[in-house]
A = this chain, B = another copy of it.
Amino acid sequence: MIKEKVVKCECTIIHNDIVEKTRKEMPKDETLYDLAEIFKIFGDSTRIKILYSLFKNEMCVCDISALIGTTQSAISHQLRLLKQAKLVKYRKDGKIVYYSLDDSHVKSIFNEGLRHIEEN
């Protein structure tokens, strides 16, 4: 016996019109990937805490780790990701590095998220 099961498309398109209509309305794949990338950044409580820390004041790495209660190293690693995502910026003053928010949408995105939580 060569093959016991017939290989078949496991899925039948039931509502072809809706599928095609929706396909045309979808943003292009690249956009959706980028969108997922940004939310992936927000999907970690350490990073959320870092961003919240910076809502009103700039802070140095040391301050942030003390505030959040995590290793300086861990914070530094996460700040690198936030930098890459253009969510924070920094300025150096001697050996101290001050980080601050670099995006105006973070607050509104967080607020929308909070509203979802509150309703559930």
Instruction: Encode contact with B along A5-27: 1 for CB under 8 Å, 0 otherwise.
Output: 00000111111001101110111
Contact A22 B71 (CB under 8 A): no
- Main secondary structure on chain A at its contact with chain B? helix
When the two chains form the complex, which single residue of B32, B53, B56, B72 contacts A48, counting CB atoms closer than 8 Å?
Answer: B32
In whole Å, how far is A84's beta carbon from the nearest beta carbon of chain B?
A: 11
Could you tell me the distance between the alpha carbons of A18 and B108 in the complex, rounded to whole angstroms? Answer: 23
Contact A63 B114 (CB under 8 A): no
Given contacts A113-B38, A113-B39, contact A23 B67 (CB under 8 A): yes
Which partner residue on chain B sits nearest A14 by CB separation?
B62
Q: A residues engaging B (CB < 8 A)?
A: 10-15, 18-19, 21-23, 25-27, 31-45, 47-49, 52-53, 55-57, 59-60, 62-63, 65-67, 71-72, 86, 96, 103, 105, 108-110, 112-117, 120
Question: Which 7 A/B pairs are nearest by Cβ-Cβ distance?
Answer: A40-B43, A39-B42, A36-B45, A43-B43, A39-B43, A13-B66, A109-B112
